[in-house]
Structure 1
C-alpha cells in the first residue's frame, strides 16, 4: 500500500491534486486543516484495509460519527462483517471508498458544507475572532466618544474664555515672554471685539525700542559685538556696501580687532578689496583709539570684533578694549533670532557692562519664532538699530521699524504653525 499526502489552500484544490496525481483508484484515508490554514489529504493506493500507525481509527464511541468520511465508512463495514450484522441503512447515500466518488461528492457540495462535513473548522478560533472584533468595536466607540468630548470641551472653552485670555493665548503663540504679555494685557483694555488683536499688536510695536535713525547717510564709528557666528562681519559688509554705492568709497574704513583666530580678518579684507576701502587690523602692536583717531575724518568707520562665547576668558580683554574706546564709538550687539530666549538674555547681560547703544537682530529668515528676541530687547530696553534677514550683500539688511518687525513676527509664527501642523498630521 502506497501512502501519499497532498496540501492545498482549500478542499476543492486538494481533491483536484489527488485526482490529477493518482487517478480515481486512490482511497482518501484522512484530511485535516494545518496551522498554516492549508488542507492536507492523506491517500492510499492498493488499499488493503489496514491503516498506518499515524492514522489509527477513532475511539469506539466516535467511530461512526461521520457518514461522509470514506475511511470511517470502511471501518464500519469491517466491524459489521465481523459481528455478522446487516448493513446499517442510511438516509443519505453512503460515500464510496474510492476517490472518483469522493471527487464527485466534493465538487457537488458548497465549500462551507464540505468544511462542516469534514470538521475542518476550528470553532474555538472562530469564537476568539468574534470576541476580538467585539472588543475592537468597543474600543472604537470609546475613542470616538473621547474625541467628541475633547472637541466639545475645546469648543466650550473658546466661547467661555475672556477677551484678555484670548489675546494672551495668541501672543503666547508668537513666542513672547509672560512678562511682555502681562505688560500688554494689563495696560490695554480689550472688549472682545474684532480689532482687539490689532490693538494688541499695536501696543506691542509701541513697547519695542528701535533707533530712530535712517540707514544712510550714517556718520560716526560703529562697533559690532557678539558671540561667534551671529553675523557681525556679514552685517558690516552689507552696511559698507550700501554706503559705498550711495556715497563712494572715499569715506568708509573697515577695522577688525579679531586677532584670536587664524586668518580671522581675511573675510573683512575680502570686503575691503571688493569695495576698494581700507582695512585696519588692531593687534597687540596697535591701539584701537589710535586707529579711530587716524580715520577721524571718515564719515563711516565700522569695527569688527572677535566673536567669543560669554564664558571665554579672552572676552574680558575684549570688553576692556571697548570700555577704553573713544566715547563717540557706538557699540551694537548682534543678536541672532535663532537663539533661545535664555541664551539671548545671557549674552545681553555679559555685554551690557560696556554700555551698549543698541543691537542688530540677525538671521530673521532662519528663525521659526521672533518672539524670543523681541521679548529680550523689550525687557532689557535695548534699542534695535538694524534687522538682517539673509546672506545677500548689500540687500538683506535695513533699519529697524517696529511695526514691520511685529508684522514679520506674526507672519513667521503663522507660517511655521502651518508647517508644524502639516508635519504632525501628515496633511
Structure 2
C-alpha cells in the first residue's frame, strides 16, 4: 500500500490535488488542519484495509472501555456514519472498504464529476457575468449619451463661434471703411465685447473716441506757439484763422506773427497780408536775426504765433529748421500740422521726423478735402500725439475749432458714408 500526503489552502483544492495525482482509486485515510491554516490529506493507493503503524490507535494496557447505559461507543457511532456515507455514494463507485474499528476511517475518492460546490461557483460566475454584461451595456449607453451631449455642445459652440466670427468680420469691414489701421481695429475689438446688437456700433465709436488724445484745458491758445510741418499742409492759413479769432474776441493788442520761412521767394507775404488785415505786427527771422531774440522781444504778448518753412522730409534744409526749433526758448510750444488728405504711412513719417523737437500736439487740417479721416486718426492714436485743433476749410476765421474727440469721430463716419455714396453714384452712373 502506498501512502501520500497532500496539502492545500482548503479541502476542495486538497481533494483535487489527490484526484489529479493519485486517481479515482485513492482512499483518504485522514485529513486535518495544520497550524499554518492549510488542509493536509493522507491518501492511500491499493488500500488493503490496514492502517500504517503511525496512524494506528494506541491502547493503554488493561484498557477497558467505560460502559454505561446512557453513553454509546464513539467508534461505533463513527463507523455508523461511514456506513451511511457508503450507502449514499453513487452506484458506479467501488465499495468502501472499512478498516478495523480501532483504526481511522478510510473511504474512496469521489468520482471526476463537478460537485455541488463547482456547480454553485459556475452558477455564481454565470450570474456575475450576466450582471457584468448588463453593467457594460449600461456604461456603453451612458457613454453614448455623454458623447451625444458633448457633440451637441461642440456644435453649439461652433455655431456661436461662427456667429461671433461673422459679427467680428462685419465690424472689421465697417471700421476699415473709416480708414482705421489694423492695429486700432484689433485693439478696439479686443476691448469691446460684441453682442450682435444694434448698439454695438455706437459702443465701438464711443470707445474709439476715448482712444483719441486731445488737448484738455482752455479752448483758446495762449503763449508762444510754432506751427510746423511739410509744405502745403495749411500752416500759414491755420495761423491766420487762430489770430483772427483772437483779435475778434480780445482785440489786436497782444498778438504778433513771426515767420522763419526765408527759403521761398515772397514766402512771408501771405503772413504780412494777415498782419495788415488784423493790424498786428509781423516779424521775419532770417540769417541776420535770432528766433530767441525775437521771442524775447514779444515775451509780454498774450499770443505769439510762429510760422515755419514747409519742407519735404528729404530736404537738406529741414535739418536746419529743426535745429532752430530745438534751440528755441522752452516756452515755445510746437504743433505739427497734419493734412488728413495724406496717406497713413506719409503721416507716420512726418511725425517721426518732427518728433525730434518734442512736439506738444498737432493740428488736423484739410478735413473738408479728405475722403477718409481714419488714417490721420489712427496715426495720432498710435503715436499718442494730442490733437489741439481741426481745420476744415479756407474761410477765415470760421473753418477751425478746438479738437473734440466725439466730433472728430462723427466727422469720420459722415465722411466715409458721404464718399461711399458718391463713389457708388459715380460707379453705377446714378
> Quick check: TM above 0.5?
yes
Give the equivalent residue in structure 2 for 1:38. none
> Which residue in 2 is equivalent to 1:215?
219
Distance in 1 of aligned mates of 2:304 and 2:187: 38
Give, in angstroms, the shift of residue 175 of structure 1. Answer: 0.5
1:346 paired residue among 345, 349, 354: 349
Q: Which residue of 1 aligns with 2:376?
A: 373
Contact 1:256 1:282 in 2 (8 A): yes
Return the offset for 1:159.
7.3
2:190 is the counterpart of 1:192: no
1:405 partner SS? helix
Alpha-carbon shift at residue 383 of structure 1 (Å): 0.5
Cα offset, 1:249, TM superposition: 0.5
CA distance in 1, matches of 2:206, 2:384: 18
Q: What residue number does 2:175 align with?
A: 171
- Separation of aligned partners in 2, 1:394 and 1:213: 21
> How many residues in Structure 1 have an aligned counterpart in Structure 2?
269
Distance in 1 of aligned mates of 2:164 and 2:330: 56
- When the two structures are superposed, what TM-score results if normalisation uses the length of structure 1? 0.62
Q: RMSD in angstroms over aligned alpha carbons?
A: 1.2
CA–CA separation in structure 2 for the residues paired with 1:219 and 1:420: 42
- CA spacing shift, 1:162–1:403, aligned 2, 3 Å: same
Secondary structure of 2:315 counterpart: coil
Aligned counterpart, 1:239? 242
Shift of 1:160: 7.9
**Structure 1 residues 399 and 280, CA gap change in structure 2 (3 angstroms):** same
Residues of 1 paired with 2:163 and 2:368: CA distance? 36
Residues in 1 aligned to 2:164 and 2:195: alpha-carbon distance in whole angstroms: 14
What is the rounded CA distance, in whole Å, between the counterparts of 1:402 and 1:160 in structure 2?
Answer: 29
The one of 254, 259, 279 equivalent to 1:256 is 259
Give, in whole Å, the separation in 1 of the partners of 2:375 and 2:271.
30
Alignment deviations for residues 100-122 of structure 1 (CA, whole Å, 9 cap, x no partner): xxxxxxxxxxxxxxxxxxxxxxx
Distance (whole Å) between structure 1 residues aligned to residue 379 and residue 362 of structure 2: 11
SS at match of 1:359: strand
Correspondence list, 1:10-409, <5 A: 161-216=165-220, 218-409=221-412
Counterpart-to-counterpart distance in 1, 2:295 and 2:164: 63
What is aligned with 2:61?
none
Query: 1:280, CA displacement in angstroms?
Result: 0.4
Of the two, which has the highest radius of gyration? 2
Displacement, 1:162? Answer: 3.0
Aligned residue for 1:68?
Answer: none
Q: Which runs of 5+ in 1 are unaligned?
A: 1-157
Shift of 1:214: 3.3
3-state DSSP of counterpart to 2:419: helix
Shift of 1:424: 1.2
Q: Secondary structure at the match of 1:369?
A: coil
**Regions of 4+ moved over 6 Å:** none
8 Å Cα contact 1:167/1:200 also seen in 2:
no
How far apart are the structure 2 equivalents of 1:320 and 1:424?
A: 49
Structure 2 partner of 1:130: none
Secondary structure, in 3 states, of the residue corresponding to 1:162?
A: helix
Task: Please report how far the alpha carbon of residue 208 of structure 1 lies from its aligned counterpart in structure 2 after TM superposition.
Answer: 0.5
Q: Check conservation: 1:201, 1:406, Cα contact below 8 A.
A: yes
